[in-house]
Chain A
Amino acid sequence: MTESSPQDIYSGTSQALEFPKISFRRMTQLVWKTWPFMRPMLKHIIVLLLVGFLQGIIFAGSLFVAGDIFTNKVLVGEKVQPFQAWAMGLDESYVKEEFEPGTEETDDHDDVESEEPRGLLATLVGLVGIEPVEEEKEDQAEETDADDEANKLTGEQRKVVRDRMIILLAFLSLLGGVMYGVVLPYYGRWVWHNVNQNLRVAMIERAEHLSLRYHSNTRVGDAIFRVYQDSGVIISLLEEGIIGPVSIIYSLVLGLVFIAFFDPLVALVCVLVLVPIVLLVYLFTPRIRRRSLVNRRSYSDLTSRLQESFSAIKVVKVNRAESRILDRFNTDSERALDAALALRLEMVFLGVLVAIVGGVAMLGLEFVMVKWVVEDRETFLGAMVVAFIGFTVWNLGAFNAANSRVEDTAEATRGLTRVWARLQDLFIALERAFFLLDLKPEVDDPENPREFPESIRKISWRNVHFAYTNQRILSGVNLTAEAGTVTAIVGQTGAGKSTLLSMLLRLYDPDEGRVLIEEEDLRDLRIDDIRHNTAIALQRNVLFAATVEENIRYSSVDASREDVEAAARVACADEFIRSLPNGYDTELGERGGKLSTGQRQRLSIARAVVRDTPILILDEPTASLDAATEHQVLANLAQWGRNKVVFIITHRLSTIRNADQIAFLEDGRIVEIGTHAKLLDREDGYYRKFVDAETVGKVAS
């Protein structure tokens, strides 16, 4: 197809490798394509996003306050801010003296406090049912240390502050922990699994509906790999590729705002460092993409080979080709592993460079901020929120807070780079996944399908042409078959007999000419209607890993057990099925190993019969049956199919002879048509020669 086959990558030089040009527009297009699969889950995705946003603000805010209380108040012993006192239910002796006379702002707080003296913590404690035991000690402490340094907490007070903070934090983190540690991740996974499910099903649906021409040109394993590996990444695209970066950028901006709160200069430096980092990323992006493509293709190749080896395992065994197949697997596997390493090295190399650039900036800023602490320099906006937090000048707490913000910013940048690198891989994967979804099924429903004819009396091919990619199969076939007749299609191996009849099911459409049911062109009818009215027993006896009954009932779900048994009787299968260990409930292996070919053929026939459709196609279904069984089956079918149009492909004279008309296919055309007797009369006729060849053995004896 349009995609170069996997081998091209290895056989050709690296130039032969088509370079994936992914522009930004293409990327957004890809994201857009995932939209239909996300839409059913939209509500949930929005909830996830909102909760994430809230989480960022709440976490950053409470970390700041807690950090201030812990470092500056508990560890160093400074007095608490009014808001903190309120939240922890502390009295005025804990609060910095400069607030006692009060600004207007703090007055309000004091009012609040007096109205509700026990504060937030007390309410919580009350909820839990624990009495605050420290109340008395507190009062004592207040008395004794009254004339200590005005701006320091006493040792006892520091312990009180610490204990209350711990209770408050424990309560909050229990809530937060269950919410963000269990409930949300599970919920998130559920949402993304659903999106993935939507995509997977859409892909398999598409694969099922693609015309056989596509399937005969592509490896099955490739399709499997696409659905499985590549669709899995859609979750990543949304979860980590879109929501992830969005939340990283969000926390980056939030971090920068907080840093600017301490000092805008630091924030500016943080922003400037992004320039060389972006440059690095720009340089590495195309390299990563190229490696990623090689990686995915070689892995896909490995999967296909594996699939094929397992399905052809019998041939491998009898030919003692195990070691050769193993060598091949090994080569493929190592190739895939090398490709994986090459990709990862690019990613890691970029990561290390970005880490070093960002790290140096981070360490430089750390030095500067330490200098400010030593110099007791004022922070930029600390004075404005002094009621909540004690960061007016650079102190231990302020340094910890600001520095950890800077560290977070550096981490966010590294994270963003990582996500970017992985996104390149992701987009390659999506390209491949959507390749399948974008394929138009060659055979597709018409826009305004016509009604399927109610009764079928006539089916005809008119000047039908058909070619595979490089091989002409049919060139101008004309044929008409009527209800109540059996038409035998006869001809050389490879003459196109199966292809001709496949058109009745629209497995292929003719390149030229028309196939008509009554006077309706098949292309004007709905595929489902057509296939609903046509049953086929295939040459290749496909059995599914299910019970005998399920195999017969396949695709005619409403058939009752009685129908199944009746069909089995028509196909002369009832007897041997009953002799199986569990009768109709016997499990069949994928390759139907326990059944002989003839038995499988009879199951195929039963499967076609149980559908009871007006059109029946038998594609060499009796080749592996012995003559007696074949006669019986055909007699049953003739009886059963009195009003149906029956087609049969076969080489057996005994079968052909009884057909109502025989069509001889040669060189893509029907060269002779008529009854057995009529065709035998033609001296030098194709059919006559064919029959003579069949009887050579007989003549010799």
Chain B
Amino acid sequence: MKDTNNFPLFSTYEFNPKLYDELFNENNKIREIYKTLYDLFSSYSVEEYNRLNTQAKASFFNLGITFQVYGEKEVKEQIFPFDLFPRIINNKEWTTIEKGVLQRSKALNLFLWDLYHDQKIIKQGIVPLDLINSSVNFLPQMKGLDPPEGIYNHISGTDLIKHSDGNYYVLEDNIRCPSGVSYVVGNRNAVKHTLFGVFNQYNAHTVVDYGSKLLETMESVKPKGVDAPVCVIITPGVYNSAYYEHSFLAKQMGVVLVEGRDLFVENNFVYMRTIYGPEKVDVIYRRVDDLFIDPLVFRKDSMLGVPGLFSAYQKGNVTLINAPGTGVADDKAVYTYMPQIIKYYLDEEPILNNVHTYHCSRKDELSYVLENVDKLVIKPVDESGGYGISIGNRLTKEEIETVKKTIIAEPRKYIAQPIMSLSTHPTYIEGNESFESRHVDLRTFTLLGKDIDFVLKGGLTRVALKKGNLIVNSSQGGGSKDTWVLKK
């Protein structure tokens, strides 16, 4: 037992010295940046902390920052698991992260333009044609189309981890409908209310400016000939698990939150049905997936979209955020080419590291993967939410054989990466009434508009609540933390 285990809230805190623990350094000393916070937490009794924790959770519940679980008869509301111990990122590290995620978002944007136009990067043999041809997220309807101001991925969410070497690595780029930003603000409010004394002693950047920056971004990409654009957010509806976020963003920006059934298209212009009749809509932040946005062009059975929306978009009468077809570039197989993509379009070296990736579509790499499944993480290229991931060292012999068979059946569908050791962070485990180290990652939020490059100074630190678990996604039982980016 270490000295630190004497404090009631740290009675069972252990960390693996082979990993990067964000609270303790390798000599079991508190890292300087966390000292004030640690002093505060170690002064609490379990009862005191439980009371604070309960209050914080009640505030989420009362504010309706929840998702719904549909049972047979009744609907249950649940809050997303939330941890009060904030994650701190110093200014120097943040500067690198910020530059790095912007670089990636810009490179991806140029990549998308190229893919839907001349495909020079393919013609020059830097990215294989097969990568695009076999991607279900490549939308042929987008070929030759020029989105306003040339921007495809107005909103990007980049997932980063801190490896045992102390460096940040990018795990994924999300440029379809990245979610989670409302929790950044929700978590910050809860932490400020609960830990106001200590929050004061850290000079952290605010996160409340996201809404106004997002609105600026939306307005900056208005269709040609529009003076004061009418911006809306389209949501699949109250039953969607991210409905809270949709309504939160609409309120933050003061724009209308619509559903597909509130909109209609006439002569290739989009209108919403208001109490005084139709009103033209110019910019739509859509939280409806590509295949659902327009039943005339994509999935015919979609009830979430608007018939004719895509043709209005083609005519340049409405802007969609993000542009349709961005999914082709956040494919996990494309990810592996990111260093080359950055180099090709920006003539720069990547600022953030990529995790080395093996393509199962390549014969030699496939045989390496098949021989080393136990040392690798196997991921399907086109899934999100942490689904379908196999972590090699957690599998039984039989499971490894099953995974091998699945890969052989569809090698294009899988990539493999070395098992990265996500850093660990103190997280309160209610069952043990103590903080324990748990794996965390970080999702940053980047906005690209006409003359706008913005990275939210903060982000969503996601934490895997199960001991040793590396998958932090909320759909897999992960929680989240407030993230403090320090000004100095």
Do A and B associate with each other? no
